[in-house]
Structure 1
Amino acid sequence: MATKSLASWATSLEASSLPSSVKQAAIRSLYNYIGCAIGGSNHATVTKAHDALSPFFGKAASTLFGHQGGLKADAQHAALLNGIASHVHDYDDTMLATIIHPTGPVASALTAYAEYKGGVSGPELLCALTAGIEASCKIGLAVWPEHYDIGWHITSSTGGIGAAVAVGKLMHLSEEQMAHAIGIAAVQVVGLREMFGSDTKSFHPGRAAQSGLLAALLAEKGYTSSPQALEAKRGWANVVAGGGTPKLQKYLAELGEKWEIEANAFKPFPCGIVCHPAIDGCIQLHHEMEAKSIRAEVITKVEAKVHPLVIELTSKRMPKDGLEAKFSVFHGAAVGLLYGKAGPAQYGDKVVQDETVTAIRDKVNATADGRLAADETCLTIYCSDGSTLEKHIKHAVGSLEVPMSDAQLTEKFVDQAALVLGENAQIASEAAWAIGEARDVAEVLREL
């Protein structure tokens, strides 16, 4: 009875019962999401989607982030477009155990509906957000890794259900209605790994947000689905896991006991997270080379031993643009060595196509080593004078062992938001940090 169990837990969850550590994790997750959504709001991928769909917008009820209240859409389209914006730079949060980016689909649906509804307090929003993230992560764990190995993009294939749970929580759905919302979301499964490196990758969490919102709206009006939508033989888990061995009951039994949101990690670099150890190491090597007055031009070869997933997911040797470069460990290593940073600017199309970057990128070689952890790498730089530099990253920055601090999250938020909002980025940052205490979150959202 996995569907019923999830619905029962979600409808009974109370903001006052959330542990302080869970509340803090929810605040950090929402804050990071808002920064990513603002930072991605003017990306060409978002602009193309907006231009295609704006003729079909309904009542302008929900803010499109990055325009300080100057651009709105109906809640359904706002959920879609903010979801795309939040993921387009690949800068969002990550549940490392499954590589789910949980907040984007959930928060995009939730904020769009909360502004449309009005009168939603910060604590209510954080409680609903937590419910949605826990739902996404628990069902994701239940089908991992079979689901991902088949080729599903697990962020969106779980995110629609999480979004339905979160919005349903704000709607105060009954347990029966919530179960139906879960089922309606489950049939709208979306996201293929084949799309990585294209506009459609970020469409996945946007569509999941939109689908989850739709599911909750339908369920509220009595629309029905199977009461065993998740666990049935031909239900969500068995179908998306390819007949694998879903462990739904095991993980759903941990709801309210083990909080997955507390293990949410945040990206210091806007690209596939498996690249981060190599980038972290190359940035550190950049500073060492700088201190020793070693120029990048003397590098003849860079050898990187990496976890096998790095080769599987980020082996684009010659990325043609910024979207493809996010799946190129070679590009991440190159900009880390050249610039000592790897932010949104270093993943711009012009940088990806720059001859200096290309020259270093061509010298990077990555080899899979199954003995390494996912957040670990071993780097060796060979120079023309025969000397070498080495760096072993045991845990990359942004991992659970080396987490980003609130100060680092703030710097990340302001850096990317400033590319869109200019000097108002700091004001947006302060508002986003405080949204969990708002009497009506709509008032805050309209300023972002």
Structure 2
Amino acid sequence: MSYDVTEALAQHAARVRFADLSASAIARAKTFLLDTIGVGVAGSSGTGVAQVLELARSWGPGDEATAWVGGHRMSAGSAAIANAYLIHCLEFDCVHEGAVVHPMATLLSALMAWSEREAARGRPVDGKRFLAAMAVGVDVAGNLGMATDAPLRFFRPATAGGFGATAAIGNLAGFDAGTIRSAFGHMYAQTCGTMQAHVEGSPALGLQIGYNARGAIGATDLAAAGLTGPLDIFHGRYGYYVLIEDGQFHPERVAERLGKRWEIEQLSHKPFPSGRLTHGLVHALRDMMREHGFAADDVAEVVCYAPPLVRRLVGRPLVPDPASNYAKLCLPFVGGVWLAHGACDVPHFRGEALRDPRVHAYAARIRHEPDGNTNENALDPQRFVITLNSGAVHEMLLPHAYGHPKAALTEAENEEKFLRCWGHAEPALPRDRAHRVIEMIAGIEAVPDIAALPAVLAGRD
């Protein structure tokens, strides 16, 4: 193969420094650092969080890193699992749509835990180095996802995300390309992530993010100790693209993009705590109701004409008593939530809200149909046709859902989402602490030790 993707990614991860980042990449890194911490705080109200935190402490007791909510101290690997679960358990974290990857969940949980461990060892990581490592991690995870046309068989946010986290830690550790390549091999030996958890709405979905975040820390430790991992891990005979991505691999796409654009600028927000593939429907309902002045009770039918990825991942049937994670990934249910409440927020996917008869009645009016798109990884465009009880028909072609870089949240909307997430923390957190986090991230370049950030989150500073 003329273009060695493994070597190219390793060289990129070893080379990048803060001075290389564009002003827009720095701005977006701050935006999604704040966003990811916010959804992690909100995640403290998610399913099974208390059990995950307690088990994480028992799996890796110690005083290396912090669970962001509650402030429990544990090993870096266990903190990576705990915080990754907090970030992803509400389906609220950002996504790289072109790659179909949630890169920040795996990346930030691993990177922050590793940095705290470094601080405890007298080697603090400053804010500039941290932002550069974040950009590296998103580049690696994003490029891995964009280099395939394969339909998801494994959970790419966990699998590609683990390599992104490994690259980011390798960058912070000052590894050369050979050591990073070896770390990739050790990461591949631990890579996991089944889509069955997605199909069933199991909490294991978010835990898989955590397993790969912990794996990234272990992989870099092994490489630093001089243990060589397998080296031809992306396009080898039993490599990542052969086994995990069904043999579909386009290395030229990496060659075209790597080092030429920052993938952190391509991230999409999730304005709503549901699968990103449901956001087009919410966007269309919101805008069409505003434009045409009809109410939820006026709606007779909603038809969503969507690409195969949308139908495959969120086109699941409506069930009368869904689990929280199932409901978030059910297109009709999420649309029913918006029609019933004119909003789509964390409380709408828990407890009795999951059995709300109004939500289910509206959801029953929503269906999806194929749109003829053959791209197995496309999220858009989507087309919506709404028929009213009066017989009136309204249509919308949506090129990008709200939150996409071309339909982005403003800085004020990003901060509003963060504060809303903060308000969902369990147990409740002081509001003044939220504003300290906002201020710290706004000036993160001047922070001498990134470990100060989880200390603020935990109320220790």
1:32, 1:413 within 8 Å by CA — same for their partners in 2? yes
Pair 253,349 (structure 1): closer, same or farther in 2 beyond 3 Å: same
* Counterpart pick for 2:232 among 210, 224, 228: 228
1:155-195 CA-partner distances (Å, limit 9, x unpaired): 11111111111112212223322111111011222111121
Tell me how far 1:241 sits from its aligned partner. Answer: 2.5
- Helix, strand or coil: the match of 2:80? helix
1:254-403 correspondence runs (5 A): 254-287=257-290, 292=293, 295-319=295-319, 320-370=322-372, 374-403=379-408
Correspondence for 1:40: 43
Task: Please tell me the residue identity of whatever aligns with 1:352.
Answer: L
Tell me how far 1:207 sits from its aligned partner. Answer: 1.2
Tell me how far 1:250 sits from its aligned partner. Answer: 4.8
- CA–CA separation in structure 2 for the residues paired with 1:2 and 1:382: 49
TM-score, normalization by structure 1: 0.91
Give the number of aligned pairs.
439
Correspondence for 2:215: 211
* Counterpart pick for 1:201 among 197, 200, 205: 205
TM-score, normalization by structure 2: 0.89
Identify which range, 77-86 or 231-240, moves more after superposition: 231-240
Which ranges in structure 1 are unaligned for 5 or more consecutive residues?
none
2:102, 2:157 within 8 Å by CA — same for their partners in 1? yes
Q: CA RMSD in A?
A: 2.2
Which ranges in structure 2 are unaligned for 5 or more consecutive residues?
none
- CA–CA separation in structure 1 for the residues paired with 2:306 and 2:342: 20
Correspondence for 2:416: 411
2:99, 2:146 within 8 Å by CA — same for their partners in 1? yes
- CA–CA separation in structure 2 for the residues paired with 1:379 and 1:135: 34
What is the identity percentage for the equivalent residue pairs of Structure 1 and Structure 2?
24
Task: Please tell me the residue identity of whatever aligns with 2:415.
Answer: T
2:14, 2:171 within 8 Å by CA — same for their partners in 1? yes
Tell me how far 1:288 sits from its aligned partner. Answer: 5.5
1:92, 1:266 within 8 Å by CA — same for their partners in 2? yes
- Helix, strand or coil: the match of 1:317? coil
- CA–CA separation in structure 2 for the residues paired with 1:221 and 1:249: 33
Correspondence for 1:86: 87
Pair 282,171 (structure 1): closer, same or farther in 2 beyond 3 Å: same
**Are positions 1:445 and 2:446 aligned together?**
no
Tell me how far 1:66 sits from its aligned partner. Answer: 2.5
1:2, 1:228 within 8 Å by CA — same for their partners in 2? no
Tell me how far 1:263 sits from its aligned partner. Answer: 1.1
- CA–CA separation in structure 1 for the residues paired with 2:29 and 2:255: 19
- Helix, strand or coil: the match of 2:367? strand
Pair 97,198 (structure 1): closer, same or farther in 2 beyond 3 Å: same
- CA–CA separation in structure 2 for the residues paired with 1:307 and 1:237: 23
Task: Please tell me the residue identity of whatever aligns with 1:366.
Answer: H
Tell me how far 1:60 sits from its aligned partner. Answer: 2.3
* Counterpart pick for 2:140 among 135, 143, 154: 135
1:89-100 correspondence runs (5 A): 89-100=90-101
- CA–CA separation in structure 2 for the residues paired with 1:18 and 1:281: 35
Pair 302,249 (structure 1): closer, same or farther in 2 beyond 3 Å: closer
- CA–CA separation in structure 1 for the residues paired with 2:347 and 2:241: 39
- CA–CA separation in structure 1 for the residues paired with 2:102 and 2:116: 23
Tell me how far 1:39 sits from its aligned partner. Answer: 1.2
Tell me how far 1:323 sits from its aligned partner. Answer: 0.7
Task: Please tell me the residue identity of whatever aligns with 1:16.
Answer: A
- CA–CA separation in structure 2 for the residues paired with 1:45 and 1:370: 39
Pair 413,202 (structure 1): closer, same or farther in 2 beyond 3 Å: same
- CA–CA separation in structure 2 for the residues paired with 1:429 and 1:76: 26
* Counterpart pick for 2:190 among 188, 191, 195: 188
